[in-house]
Structure 1
Amino acid sequence: MEIQRKAYKKLLEWKRESNGKTAMLIEGARRVGKSTIAKRLGEREYRSYILVDFNNASKNIIENFNQNLNNLDVFYQTLSLEYGVQLFNRESLIIFDEIQQFPKARQSAKYLVADGRYDIVETGSLISIKENVQSITIPSEEQKLKMFPCDFEEFAEALDQKVLLDYIKKCFDEQTALDEEFHKKAMHLFREYMLVGGMPQSIVAYKENQLSFFESDKAKRKIIELYKDDIKKASKRYSSKVSAIFENVPGYLSSHEKKVVLTEIDDSQNATFSRYDEPFFWLDDSMICNLCYKCNDPNVGFALNKNESSLKCYMGDTGLLVSHAFSENEIASEELYKNIMNGKLSLNEGMLYENVVSQMLCSKGRKLFFYTEYDRSSHRNSMEIDFLLSNESKTKFKVYPVEVKSSKNYTTTSLLDFKKKFGTRIGQCYIIHPKAFSKRKDGIICIPPYMVMCL
């Protein structure tokens, strides 16, 4: 089964526009499909290709980088002989896979691009942590492509639902609701996406086993174990902290405020965010998790007003969150999936809804920010906005507040208060809920979660 990825079109654009002038670095979480898409590019768009996997590169290959970069004729000859592949000038692709395992290969892109004989693609995760960049000069000739788990559109197309996707987009453009029958069908598809997630191995296991959530779960648990192994290999300075945060992600998201509370994992007096900046950076850089920071003052450039001591930590893939949060026994009975598919898991569904929206926004290239306002008299938040989007304009800046509601009954007090407080800064206000599209008298647009892809 082949899953069509949007990233492939971006690789084709790079090949056409770069014409060998830059290397392409595909970064993303492990098992997100980086190697697969790079090989697909080599197979379909080039006369030949070589993939150098630095997880198991031979001693001969490592010595080639250490000894022959000053003589590229010998360097490429060694690659060609080692892999038994003939290389053709401007018609071959060299793929450096898992490049974080050998940072020197990443640095070499500067010389290989200048030489210009072949196109260079690198794939990797954790490419920015100190251990992987401290001894190299990062080449300016490097173009980056972030690769996320399959988004809702890619998932729907993999399940042969292209016609339904087109209908959803048409209705959003026309600001109208889907017919009730198709709304139910789209919500069913969205809940499938929420449970299976966007990891290619999970989707393949689900579809090729007669839509089996159980088989999907087995694939996801293997990925989670891989992530845990990667965390153990993190720097000894902070690997235990990374592990503690990762294990507690479901707990944070199941709480009312969904914010990270360090005292839940570190009851010492040293449980401060300044001591956890590297662990959070590791999880963010690995793209295992998506961090969402509080914005103290929603204005031009959210990042300029972000509060780094108040954040939410979402899983990069909601399907993985489901398998991470619930035991194998709970999932093996399939009662859990049955309840979620029927919209009856009220205790945890809010956690899953908010996480999947964060995932869908990140896949569109958005940084995540939220807003809260604390009322000292009542000792609680008087205003909570789940996500802040903007039109990214410097001269006509507008904030688009987004509230996520997993149930059909809810209040809009926070959204209306936020709109009143910030006045002319506010653009369109959105509520994401399980009901069909509607536009309220106060101007708030309510959309079902399958329309988030259209925002």
Structure 2
Amino acid sequence: MLKRKAYRALKAWKRFKTKQALLVDGARQVGKTFLVREFGQANYDHVVELNLLENVRAREALASAGDTAELFLRLSAFSDQPLVPGKTLIFLDEVQACPNVLTMIKFLCERQDYDYILSGSMLGVEMRNVRSVPVGYLMTETMYPLDFEEFTWAAGVGDDVWNEVRRAFEDGTPVDDYVHRRLLQLFHGYLVCGGMPDAVQTYFATDDIQRTRALQGGIVQMYRNDISQYAGDRARTVKRIFDLIPSELNNQNKRFVVKDIEGQSRIDRYDNDFLWLADANVALPVYNVDKPRYPLMLAMSSTKFKLFLADVGLLTYECGLDVVRSLLTDRTDINYGSIYENAVAQELTARRHRLFFFKNRSIGELDFLIEHQGRVVPIEVKSGKSYKRHSALSNALRTPNYGIERAIVLGETNVETEGPVRYLPIYMTGLLESGRRSLGEER
């Protein structure tokens, strides 16, 4: 059984909610259903679960309910558990198959006699068809693939190790050498396996890369099938973009330009084929800014962006078995730049950072830009030994009107400081939490 941080969010919802249902969204196969089941079994006497994608009769019955009384009557008709007020969780899974349930949940919550959790995988795409989402009656928790810390928990790494890592991060001191080497080794495994729960469990239970890759291949095909099912007449273009992500990340520019695919630069949130993948939680967009100045949203260009896959293991799968072999043998003479950057994008997104990058001829390219305490913090990602070569970062720090006071380099290094540049081991990416008092600056 995998330990997930999202479990804390479910417990907090149960403790602090008044009349709100909980909506758990995220990409397919990130572990939403399993986590809700585990939570329900541990915290309720009775759990009623309806999968609205698989149970066609239940879906049709709920979709055609005329009022709240009729809706609850039909829910009870499909229940295989007694409905005991105050002791029952009603779990509606795959609600994208019946999005009007989101509209009606308000009226069920007003009764305040049962708790409701809803879950779905394509809600960012499908929710635009919902008449209205009830404000004040629905809390949302987005789940992601396992982050690196969760991955190490699956490997048996305990909290004492991560407490040591956090102390080093906060104090600006090197991590114990043995711990450092162990976490770097596990990080290379994470780049291969990624954070999809089934892949992680297989990876550690069997030590069989071929079986892990077979699961990853199945997930990639599932995503392609979802595009065919949900993207409508745009499916061909969306699928083409999805298939191009690995090669685009591997080229020198590492970015999509809207007009390169569409022949135009106009973007509409739900008509744009690039953002369909982001709304489906399949891809992670990183937006270009004209200048690396705070606030970044005002400088954002919506027609140029990088697209990373939602799970780094799926990117490595697409790169082929030779890359897997090299990562697992800790070869440092190969450029894994796009794979490392995908892992960083994944970790930062899970920490609620909005992601940006910057590139021009005079400065160079800054891999990521995040905001912290009213300042822009550039992040350079290095996969090789030459992690202290970062001309773009140095150029940005020397540009007075950017207002950049410090920068972070993530790579195969221990904690180190040289002037305004903080060198952090790549496995510390997850400690760069949005809203955190410190981003590892020396005290």
TM-score above 0.5, yes or no:
yes
Q: Aligned AA for 2:108?
A: L
Report what 1:45 is aligned to.
Answer: 43
2:396 and 2:402 in contact (8 A); partners too: no
Distance in 2 (CA, whole Å) between partners of 1:114 and 1:305 is 43
Q: Aligned AA for 2:45?
A: R
1:203-222 alignment, distance < 5 Å: 203-209=200-206, 211-222=207-218
Is 1:82 paired with 2:87? no
1:362-377 alignment, distance < 5 Å: 362-375=349-362
Report what 1:137 is aligned to.
Answer: 132
Report what 1:199 is aligned to.
Answer: 196
The alpha-carbon deviation at position 234 of structure 1 amounts to 2.8
Q: Secondary structure at the match of 1:67?
A: coil
Which digits, 9 at most, give the CA deviation of each residue in 1:303-355, with x for residues without a partner? 222101110000110001111232xxxx2xxx533311334375551111111
Distance in 2 (CA, whole Å) between partners of 1:433 and 1:155 is 19
2:72 and 2:108 in contact (8 A); partners too: no
The alpha-carbon deviation at position 135 of structure 1 amounts to 4.5
Judging changes above 3 Å, is the alpha-carbon distance between structure 1 residues 273 and 447 closer, same or farther for their aligned structure 2 residues? farther
Distance in 2 (CA, whole Å) between partners of 1:207 and 1:97 is 28
Report what 1:356 is aligned to.
Answer: 343
Q: Secondary structure at the match of 1:238?
A: helix
Q: Secondary structure at the match of 2:232?
A: coil
Report what 2:436 is aligned to.
Answer: none
Aligned residue pairs total 428
Judging changes above 3 Å, is the alpha-carbon distance between structure 1 residues 54 and 61 closer, same or farther for their aligned structure 2 residues? closer
What percent of counterpart residues are identical?
25
Report what 1:7 is aligned to.
Answer: 6
Distance in 2 (CA, whole Å) between partners of 1:232 and 1:424 is 44
1:400 and 1:426 in contact (8 A); partners too: yes
Q: Which runs of 4+ in 1 moved over 4 A?
A: 261-264, 345-348
Report what 1:287 is aligned to.
Answer: 281
1:388 and 1:402 in contact (8 A); partners too: yes
The alpha-carbon deviation at position 133 of structure 1 amounts to 2.8
The alpha-carbon deviation at position 88 of structure 1 amounts to 1.2
The alpha-carbon deviation at position 438 of structure 1 amounts to 1.1
Match of residue 235, structure 1, among 200, 224, 231: 231
Is 1:425 paired with 2:425? no
The alpha-carbon deviation at position 260 of structure 1 amounts to 1.3
TM-score of the pair, normalised by structure 1: 0.89
Report what 1:378 is aligned to.
Answer: none
1:126 and 1:282 in contact (8 A); partners too: no
Match of residue 376, structure 2, among 389, 399, 403: 399
Distance in 1 (CA, whole Å) between partners of 2:151 and 2:130 is 39
Report what 1:388 is aligned to.
Answer: 369
Distance in 1 (CA, whole Å) between partners of 2:403 and 2:295 is 13
Judging changes above 3 Å, is the alpha-carbon distance between structure 1 residues 181 and 59 closer, same or farther for their aligned structure 2 residues? closer
The alpha-carbon deviation at position 51 of structure 1 amounts to 1.2
Distance in 2 (CA, whole Å) between partners of 1:345 and 1:408 is 7
Is 1:70 paired with 2:68? yes
Distance in 2 (CA, whole Å) between partners of 1:12 and 1:56 is 27
Distance in 2 (CA, whole Å) between partners of 1:215 and 1:171 is 36
Distance in 2 (CA, whole Å) between partners of 1:347 and 1:256 is 16
2:52 and 2:59 in contact (8 A); partners too: no
Structure 1 runs not aligned, ≥5 long:
376-381
Pick which of 310-319 and 46-55 moved more.
46-55
Distance in 2 (CA, whole Å) between partners of 1:271 and 1:244 is 17
Match of residue 317, structure 2, among 315, 323, 344: 323
Aligned-CA RMSD value: 2.1
Report what 1:449 is aligned to.
Answer: 426
Judging changes above 3 Å, is the alpha-carbon distance between structure 1 residues 357 and 64 closer, same or farther for their aligned structure 2 residues? closer
The alpha-carbon deviation at position 385 of structure 1 amounts to 0.6
